[in-house]
Amino acid sequence: AGRLADRVCVITGAASGIGRATAERFLSEGARVVAADLDGERLATLEGVEGVVPVIGDVSVAEDARRMIDTAVERYGRLDVLVANAGVIPLLDITEAEPADFDAVMAVDGRGMFLTCKYAIEAMLVSGGGAIVCTSSISGVAGQARQAVYGPAKFVATGLTKHLAVEWAERGIRVNAVAPGTIETERVAAAREEPGGPEYLSEVLGAHPMARFGTPEEVAAAILFLASDEASFVTGAILPVDGGYLAR
């Protein structure tokens, strides 16, 4: 039973934050979850949880991204859902950012998103369809300060979502994205300790009409909707989960 009963799902960045909350929510809805993450130590805390197959890997490395998808197919015979969620979140303006920062972030948030979507779509074409949910961001829709590297990388997620949705709709593959506002994760806790972090965060908080940050569970609920059959006529959508941020 559940909204994802027996669905085979790969979730990247599943060891922490939004990805972890999504893995937990998906499990409670009956899904089989391949939980992929670079951080083996954190991923180990999901080891032995019923319905979870952990895979350690780097989404920006083609063989690793392929292995995440192949694990689902080898274990369960097909892939129904990809949540392309792994990402890194640097807060840099363009004067602070080095060329290497751009490449490093684009590798994960850009190339990693491309690679996991590519191998997922190839697998879904074999098994007759599926659903992809990309984790974009308000920074992948609108402009913000200190997002000279992260912002463009998150536009990759929204761009892939729209282009892939159009191209594969007729083959039964839906592709959508969530655009979270600021979400209370460890990354945000760490940002409070960075130079200029508290000032930046209070400014960002002021831009959220609901005057609070979101929770990983609130994002997971939106990802669940887009991944489930309840969203059967929804594709190419960028769903804000942002307390009204993008409505301004």
Q: Is 188 a residue that touches ligand NAD (CB under 6 A)?
A: yes
Q: Which residue is nearest to ligand NAD (CB)?
A: 17
Given candidates 37, 72, 83, 91, which one binds ligand NAD under the rule CB under 6 A? Answer: 37
Compare residues 172 and 244 and give the one whose CB is closer to ligand NAD: 244
Backbone angles phi, psi at 124, to 5 degrees: -65, -30
27, 31, 38, 55: which one contacts ligand NAD (CB under 6 A)?
38
Q: Identify which of residues 91 and 123 has a Cβ nearer to ligand NAD in the complex.
A: 91
Q: Is 76 known to be catalytic?
A: no
Calpha distance 83→152 (Å, rounded): 20
CB 28 within 8 A of CB 2: yes
* Measured distance CA(104)–CA(110) in Å, rounded: 10
Residue placing its CB nearer to ligand NAD in the complex, 112 or 243: 112
The residue to which tokens 């191998």 are assigned: 119
Kindly state whether residue 59 participates in binding ligand NAD, applying the rule CB under 6 A. yes
Q: Comparing C-alpha atoms, which of 41, 45, 38, 1 is closest to residue 23? A: 45
Among 183, 226, 231, 239, binds ligand NAD (CB under 6 A): 183
Query: What tokens were used for 200?
Result: 């930046």
* Residues between 139 and 168 with contacts to ligand NAD, criterion CB under 6 A: none
Query: Please, which residue, 142 or 188, has the CB nearer to ligand NAD?
Result: 188
Q: Of 10, 52, 85, 106, which one interacts with ligand NAD (CB under 6 A)?
A: 85
17 binds ligand NAD (CB under 6 A): yes
Q: What is the dihedral of CA 86, 91, 93, 99, to 10 degrees?
A: -50
Looking at 69-77, 92-100, 178-186, 192-200, which segment touches ligand NAD (CB under 6 A)?
178-186
Q: Would you state the structure tokens that stand for residue 236, as one six-digit string?
A: 């190419």
Among 11, 13, 120, 148, binds ligand NAD (CB under 6 A): 13
Q: One symbol per residue from 95 to 134: x for binding ligand NAD (CB under 6 A), - otherwise; what is it?
A: -------------x---x----------------------
Q: Quick check: 182 and 208 in contact, CB under 8 A?
A: yes
**16 alpha-carbon distance from chain centroid:** 11
Residues 205-234 that bind ligand NAD (CB under 6 A): none
Pairing of strands 81-84, 238-241: unpaired
Sign of CA dihedral 143, 145, 148, 154: negative
Residue 236 falls in which region: left (phi positive, over 0), alpha (psi -120 to 50) or beta? left
Active site residues: 150
- Residues lying near ligand NAD in the complex (CB under 6 A) are found at 12-13, 15-19, 37-39, 42, 58-60, 85-89, 108, 112, 135, 137, 180, 182-183, 185-188
